[in-house]
Structure 1
Amino acid sequence: MAEKQDIHAVEAALGKAELMAALSPATRTKLAKQGQPIVVESGKLLFAKGDKGDALYVLMEGEIEVRTSTEAGKDVRIAALKPYAVIGEMAVLDGGVRSADIAAIRKSRLLRIGRDQAIAALESEPKALLKLIAELSKRLRHADSALEDAHTLDLGGRLALRLLDEAGDGATVTLTQTEIARRIGASREKVNRKLHEWVDEGWINMGRAGIKLVARDKLKALIQESRAT
């Protein structure tokens, strides 16, 4: 159970989650009280592919990575989820097993909502169920797009896309070069070489604070050029 002193904060967080926002305030309050807060340390799994889908999770703080593995044992990153993403809803809906590994990129705090409680909430409010279907469809499109980019973009295109995605509305990316390389499926050496080329071009700056995007338009143009070739 979530502690009483945290209930209001949990309710507010649930109101920001795309799926949970479609629920009535009364249902969100009920789920906040039923939910179990958990913490996943950086690099640790929340659950693994093939695990039983006995709960869904709302990411309160931190960042979570959805990934799978190739036959050779290499991790393939599918997506990164940030607050207030709902995680694990697919297996909760169909009662099946987890379709991917879910790991914490950094220390993350989540609210665990049992399958029975989640199903009861969705059955009582069909609008939320429709919202969930729409969210699943959006994630499927995103996964398809990510797979297409992984196969069609060259190193520069994948790197530019990752920098823009990580920066969001900001101008700085704080990921290490090793982590960036892992996320785009390249070696750190190649990433480092490309970044220094862009420093020379005046597209980015690199320092202790991270990678600062100076010419976003150049990076966007590079992505389009990579897709066209």
Structure 2
Amino acid sequence: MTISEPQLELRQVLLGNFPTLNLANDALARVAPLVPVRQFATGRTLFAQGQKPRAFYAVVSGEIEARLTGPNGEVSSLEHVQFPRLFGLAAFASDQPSSYEALARQPSRVLVFGPGAYTLLMDEVPGFARALLGEFAQRYGGTLRLLEASRHRSAGERFSLALTQLMRERAEGPPDAEGWQTLRSSQAELAALASLSRQTTNQMLGAAVAEGYIRLGYRRIWVRATAMGPRR
């Protein structure tokens, strides 16, 4: 069976999030018409904080920022979502208001998984429900680790913990021959993940660069895991 371009993009997204999913071509052909692609201009909001999303999403190209506004009006960036990561899952699946807003940081193409696609995937694609539960568990576990770190650990330990989580969730392929691992992350995202100020994070990154286990680029961090030790 020939796979169309929309089906190929959908396959790449699903297997990018759930590598062990057994996604047969006939199931893919039935799901694809239920998952439209939408384009969002820079600054366009996909869903607002406090709004119940009518779908969950995956980035095909571009970048979506997940951010929240605190009671004092301060805006905190949670994540810069890129291909193929899913977002909006928890609020959609639980039918609860979203705890954050999502908006396009640049012109972006996004897959939209509405109720029809969700039902078909859950009911007719073997292993999808189990894979989705595993994804929820991983994200929840990461949130708990960071919450515990923010309350009880030093700034250096939180910095190391956040780097470790990024290596697990945002790595672009395996390490190269010299042991460098490429992470899709900005310095602002690292600071938010570690619950540290931008200034403290920049100081720690500068020290790590001097020690030779981190290199920095535009929305990329390279980590040499073999040289990475605990920070205090």
Q: Deviations over 1:102-141 (max 9, x none)?
A: 3456654321122133224423346322332232222211
Report what 1:136 is aligned to. Answer: 136
User: Do the aligned residues in 2 keep the contact of 1:203 with 1:218 (CA within 8 Å)?
Assistant: yes
Q: Distance in 1 between matches of 2:95 and 2:206?
A: 49
Report which stretch shifted further, 121-130 or 45-54: 121-130
Q: Tell me which of 205, 224, 229 is aligned to 1:195.
A: 205
Could you say if the C-alpha distance between residues 26 and 91 of structure 1 is closer, same or farther in structure 2, counting changes exceeding 3 Å?
A: farther
Report what 2:88 is aligned to. Answer: 88
Larger Rg: 1
Aligned length: 219
User: Do the aligned residues in 2 keep the contact of 1:14 with 1:28 (CA within 8 Å)?
Assistant: no
Report which stretch shifted further, 59-68 or 170-179: 170-179
Report what 1:219 is aligned to. Answer: 228
TM-score by length of 2: 0.69
- The percent identity for this pair of structures is 22
Q: 1:171 deviation in Å?
A: 4.2
Q: Deviations over 1:24-46 (max 9, x none)?
A: 43232222223221234566543
- The aligned runs of 1:47-58 (5 Å cut-off) are 47-58=47-58
Report what 1:74 is aligned to. Answer: 74
Report what 1:32 is aligned to. Answer: 32
User: Do the aligned residues in 2 keep the contact of 1:13 with 1:60 (CA within 8 Å)?
Assistant: no
Say yes or no: does 1:115 pair with 2:115: yes
**SS at 1:220's partner residue?**
coil
- Aligned residue type for 1:221: P
Q: Distance in 1 between matches of 2:48 and 2:92?
A: 14
Report what 1:6 is aligned to. Answer: 5
Q: Distance in 2 between matches of 1:100 and 1:209?
A: 21
Q: Distance in 2 between matches of 1:23 and 1:172?
A: 28
Could you say if the C-alpha distance between residues 163 and 32 of structure 1 is closer, same or farther in structure 2, counting changes exceeding 3 Å?
A: same
- Aligned residue type for 1:122: M
User: Do the aligned residues in 2 keep the contact of 1:181 with 1:187 (CA within 8 Å)?
Assistant: yes
Could you say if the C-alpha distance between residues 96 and 176 of structure 1 is closer, same or farther in structure 2, counting changes exceeding 3 Å?
A: closer
Q: Distance in 2 between matches of 1:161 and 1:40?
A: 33
- Which consecutive unaligned segments of at least 5 residues does structure 2 have? none
Report what 1:154 is aligned to. Answer: 154
User: Do the aligned residues in 2 keep the contact of 1:66 with 1:102 (CA within 8 Å)?
Assistant: yes
**SS at 2:200's partner residue?**
helix
Report what 1:100 is aligned to. Answer: 100
Q: Distance in 2 between matches of 1:208 and 1:63?
A: 13
Q: 1:84 deviation in Å?
A: 2.5
Q: Deviations over 1:40-79 (max 9, x none)?
A: 4566543222222311212323454544343223344555
Structure 1 vs Structure 2 CA RMSD = 3.8
Q: Deviations over 1:118-177 (max 9, x none)?
A: 224423346322332232222211211122223333333333444552684444568665
Q: Distance in 2 between matches of 1:37 and 1:105?
A: 17
User: Do the aligned residues in 2 keep the contact of 1:63 with 1:108 (CA within 8 Å)?
Assistant: yes
